[in-house]
């Protein structure tokens, strides 16, 4: 198309209007850019202040919650109640409980918090340690009342099943059903308590086992067998631990020789049949499984 025809399409007013529109757009763009530059730091500053403010509030809230749950008296145990004691005193148990809590807290993440706290206090784990802190305790259980903020500890003390006397050292001890030596005992005679006369040179102390675990079970099986026979047991004699044998002396009747290597339950029925002749028998030997030997 010829140039003169192109120029004829636009008048002077058209050029003016186009230039004015372009100028207006340019001015608007400059104004908007200027506004953006001026306000950008303000937005950043406001966001930064808002961020730090939220952070401070969250930090203060966390500190308050830690104080509330761990250190305030709101969730602390106000009362500790012990039940089932016969020989133990509450003061001793409290001391044992606190010592056990120190042992637990010393190897946990909660070592800095008071042991009386009812929420994060590891009551079950701590109470489980009580038998280790006090040999008189056989079993324990506990419960926490969160509304009353109280702890109840049920104590089951060890019960003496036999009196084990070391004749060479003139010491007697109470022994529970698990074979644990837990308290000193007087030298007793008669059928009120079962006594074992130990003439070996070994030394027993509080907390030790009288025999190996399996032998302890077999010994109490022997004791139960004699009880089922309804005989008057005077005492047991234990002199040769290497033979794993024990002798039972009756107040009126034959001696019994038992092995500590096995339980004698299988002998109950034949012994009941033989019981009518006990007065004529000197001793009964049950040291071999499935065999009964006796001497008239």
Give yes or no: residues 86 and 208 share one domain. no
Q: How far apart are CA 100 and CA 128, in angstroms?
A: 9
Give yes or no: residues 221 and 282 share one domain. yes
pLDDT, position 286:
96
Give yes or no: residues 283 and 187 share one domain. yes
Give yes or no: residues 136 and 183 share one domain. no
Boundary (domain end) residue, out of 22, 47, 71: 71
CATH of the domain at 174: 3.40.50
- 32 contact partners, CB below 8 Å, separation of at least 6: none
Domain that holds residue 53: 12-71
pLDDT, position 7:
35
pLDDT, position 221:
97
pLDDT, position 118:
57
Is there a domain that residue 2 lies in? no
Using alpha carbons, list the distances in angstroms from residue 186 to 35, 173, 183: 100, 8, 10
Give yes or no: residues 186 and 277 share one domain. yes
Q: How far apart are CA 124 and CA 141, in angstroms?
A: 8
Q: How many domains does the chain have?
A: 3
CA 77, distance to chain mean position in Å, is 19
pLDDT, position 104:
60
pLDDT, position 229:
94
SS3 13: helix
pLDDT, position 49:
79
Successive 10-residue mean pLDDT values, the chain, 296 residues: 36 40 49 50 70 85 81 75 88 82 57 54 71 89 82 91 94 95 87 90 93 96 95 92 94 94 95 92 95 92
Boundary (domain end) residue, out of 71, 99, 115: 71
pLDDT, position 15:
37
């Amino acid at each position: 198309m010829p140039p003169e025809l192109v120029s004829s399409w636009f008048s002077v007013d058209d050029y003016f209007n186009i230039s004015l529109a372009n100028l207006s757009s340019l001015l608007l763009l400059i104004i908007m850019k200027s506004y953006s530059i001026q306000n950008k730091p303000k937005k950043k500053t406001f966001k930064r202040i808002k961020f730090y403010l939220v952070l401070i509030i969250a930090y203060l809230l966390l500190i308050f919650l830690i104080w509330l749950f761990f250190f305030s008296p709101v969730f602390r145990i106000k009362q500790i109640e012990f039940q089932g004691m016969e020989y133990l005193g509450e003061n001793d148990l409290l001391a044992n409980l606190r010592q056990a809590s120190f042992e637990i807290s010393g190897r946990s993440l909660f070592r800095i918090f008071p042991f009386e706290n009812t929420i994060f206090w590891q009551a079950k784990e701590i109470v489980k340690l009580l038998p280790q802190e006090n040999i008189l305790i056989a079993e324990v259980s506990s419960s926490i009342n969160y509304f009353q903020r109280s702890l109840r500890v049920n104590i089951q003390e060890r019960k003496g099943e036999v009196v084990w006397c070391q004749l060479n050292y003139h010491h007697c001890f109470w022994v529970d059903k698990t074979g644990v030596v837990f308290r000193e005992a007087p030298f007793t005679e008669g059928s009120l308590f079962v006594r074992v006369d130990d003439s070996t040179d070994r030394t027993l102390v509080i907390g030790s086992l009288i025999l190996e675990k399996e032998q302890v079970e077999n010994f109490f099986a022997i004791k139960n067998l004699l009880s089922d026979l309804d005989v008057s047991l005077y005492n047991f004699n234990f002199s040769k631990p290497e033979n794993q044998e024990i002798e039972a002396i009756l107040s009126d009747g034959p001696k019994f020789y038992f092995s500590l290597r096995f339980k004698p339950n299988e002998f109950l029925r034949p012994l009941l049949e033989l019981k009518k002749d006990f007065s004529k028998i000197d001793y009964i030997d049950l040291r071999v499984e499935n065999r009964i030997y006796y001497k008239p």
